[in-house]
Amino acid sequence: MAETSPETTNVIIIGCGPTGAMLSAQLGRLGVSNICLDKEDGITNDPRGIALDEDGIRAVQSIGRYDDIFTSIGQCMGKFFFVSGVHNDLHHPAFLAMDYSTSEGGTGHVGFICHKQPHLEKSLRTALLESSSSQLREQCTLTAISEDCDWIYATYQDANRHTKVIRGKYLVGADGKTGFTRKKYLEEKGILMVQSTQSAYEETWVAVNWKISLPTPQTHPDFPLWKLGYSSEDVFDLFFPTNFRFLCNHQRPAVCGRFGRPEERLWRFEFVVKNGENGQELVQSDRLNDILRPYFTHPGSRFGLQDVVTFPEDCIETLRASPFLFAARSCNKWALGRVLLSGDSAHVFPPFGGQGLASGFRDACSLAWRLKIACQPGFQPYEALFQAWYQERKQQLERSLAATVENGRYVTESNPLKVFLRDTYLWGLQLIPSWKRQLEMGARASGMCQYEPQPGLHFIPHLHGGLLLPQVYCAPLEPGSLGDEAIRIGFTDDEIFHPAKKGLLQLVAFASSVQELSTVYREIYEVEREQEQSNPYLEVSETTVIVMDTSAQHLPSTEIATRLKTVRIASGKEFSSSPLCRNRPEPRYYDELRLVKELPDSKFVVVRPDRFVFAACKSKDELIYAIKAIQPILHGEDFRL
């Protein structure tokens, strides 16, 4: 029998996969009480998703786990090679290469990491459990959802099969595309997963994860490459090369590459299931070997040998081999009343762009701060709040899907004439260095995400609102400091959204030089004094001031300089020498002036917790206007000054 007095929290999260864990961790940092229910007993050891883009890396950074990214979670993905032709040669020249080892995307991070998902989930759960506001309940199976005018109720069975009830102000389903929240509760209310209008692609693929052991002259004395001077590491690199490959073989498209930490030697291979084939049959060991063995067999002529050279099969351990339906789908609504969907519960992606996990993180980061607003006592317009969240996320989702679909066209094109024209066209473009550089940037060539204005969205369009704020490297400045000794390099996000700050939105001020600081400080002080009443969402006294000069060394010794956090931008060279660059590539193409280039002539920027600009202001008067607009816009009220 269910408990008569249900446990109470602000937000109930169903599912503690990556999206649910990220949401819980974000809510915890915002001080919003939440309980996350997960049906599993601990983290699954099954490495499913393997790619995380720079937005996803930034999200992990935002919950305080940046140090895990290149030490336990994964490694830089490097380049994406698109390889044409009907063959099994992983060293075949690519007709297109996208370089994601650079730091030109506007976040200061590399474009992609290839991770081992259990390690990523462990890091997310660590962040979740660090907050007293977040709780995780494992081995809990959701059995019912109900709601009244004030509460949403989740009935579940715990590990001991006891029936319990939690009530919350809101419930977020992050329990996957077959989870209870959508399938058993929202579908009957008209919320359905529908095919994307951008892509009709829907195919079954097989995903294979291998763990590779190194052969040695002692374990495999007859392996022919020892006599040619190859080491064990040389052999591994030869058969399992670095960088990721999209094999655009029209007979059987495939994707493959390393993932996880380098020392783990993990390899992912995904291939399409042809018409007439059965995915479950293909994952049987004999059929799987027939398909994959040719990719790890080299002709002897490559080494001056008569016989083919095959990587020792006893050095390959299959961790998983499973068929999956890959499609581009999204729910027609992501929120109904007090129930919301996020991650795979709300949308699914094809495998060509590494956007599934990152999109779930974007859902969580953009939803968490809105939930904090919605959980305020007496807050009523939550449906409009969540509708704006959906509208913004839908725009970003479609942008991510467009890049994914474009990659998919490269991989799955089957018309020989179109393949020839594609390869010839891209070959020609790459003869021009500037165009080649654009192609190498991949999806990042389109710049920072910018929301298109729509009624009810949470930013001020005519003040550059809706732009994803770039992140650069920075170094602290203190009154009287020399600045040359033991310089601590950091990220601007970590200064702007320092955990000790109380404001939900944050104010950033730009100064071109140390000499300009006195003017900036004075204007901030005047804005603080001129406010008729304190703003519940922004504390002007918490302003972060950024000096756009890498040579700045110290601040004037004034009271306000001591009170306001002031940093200067840092160069890529400084970052390369810092601990933050350990185990990752140096920041090639990094632009320390990216902030002011994206927001020209802006002196003050009001930033939302999801790193999107609420308003960028050229003057003190514009800033006062923007601050007065915060509460009405977030509450869905008509604002006129």
> In this structure, what token pair is assigned to residue 41?
């007993």
pLDDT score at 200: 62
Q: What is the pLDDT of residues 608-641, one digit of tens each?
A: 999 999 999 999 999 999 999 999 999 988 766 5
Contacts of 448 (CB under 8 A, 6+ apart): 106, 467, 468, 469, 470, 598
- Give the helix/strand (H/E) hosting 435: helix 433-441
Q: Quickly state the pLDDT bin for 483 (edges 50, 70, 90).
A: very low
pLDDT for res 48: 81
Q: Report domain extents, the chain.
A: 7-50+116-192+332-409, 201-325, 448-635
In this prediction, residues 467-486 reach a mean pLDDT of 80
581: left (phi over 0), alpha (psi -120 to 50) or beta: alpha
Residue 129, beta-bridge partner list: none
Class of domain 448-635: alpha beta
What fold characterizes domain 7-50+116-192+332-409? FAD/NAD(P)-binding domain (3.50.50)
Report the distance separating Cα 236 and Cα 224, nearest Å. 14
Are 23 and 123 in contact by the 8 Å Cβ rule? The answer is: no
Quickly state the pLDDT bin for 199 (edges 50, 70, 90).
low
For residues 24 and 34, is the Cβ–Cβ distance under 8 A?
Answer: yes
Q: Give CATH for domain 201-325.
A: 3.30.9
Share of the chain above pLDDT 90, in %: 77
* More confident: 426 or 414: 426
For the cut 70, the answer to whether the pLDDT of residue 197 exceeds it is no
Mean pLDDT of the chain: 91
Structure tokens that stand for 548 in this block: 């756009």
Question: 529-535, long-range: CB within 8 Å, 24+ apart, which pairs?
Answer: 530/624, 531/624, 531/627, 535/627, 535/630, 535/631
Residue 160 in this model has a pLDDT that exceeds 80: yes
What backbone phi and psi angles, to 5 degrees, belong to 19? -70, -45
Q: What is the mean pLDDT of residues 488-496?
A: 97
Between 153 and 354, the higher pLDDT residue:
153
Which ranges of 258-377 would DSSP assign to H, the alpha helix? Answer: 279-282, 285-292, 356-374
Q: Is the pLDDT of residue 313 over 80?
A: yes
Q: Is residue 372 predicted with pLDDT exceeding 80?
A: yes
Report the run of H or E that residue 19 belongs to, with start and end. helix 18-29
- Indicate whether 447 pLDDT > 90: no
Q: Check whether 219 has a pLDDT greater than 50.
A: yes
Q: Mind listing the pLDDT tens digit for each residue in 331-362?
A: 899 999 999 999 999 988 766 656 778 899 99
Amino acid 559: pLDDT: 58
**Cβ partners under 8 Å of residue 519, min gap 6:** 511
The band of 1, judged by pLDDT with boundaries at 50, 70 and 90, is very low
> What would the pLDDT profile of 522-562 be if each residue is shown by its tens digit?
999 999 988 767 789 999 999 999 999 999 887 766 656 66
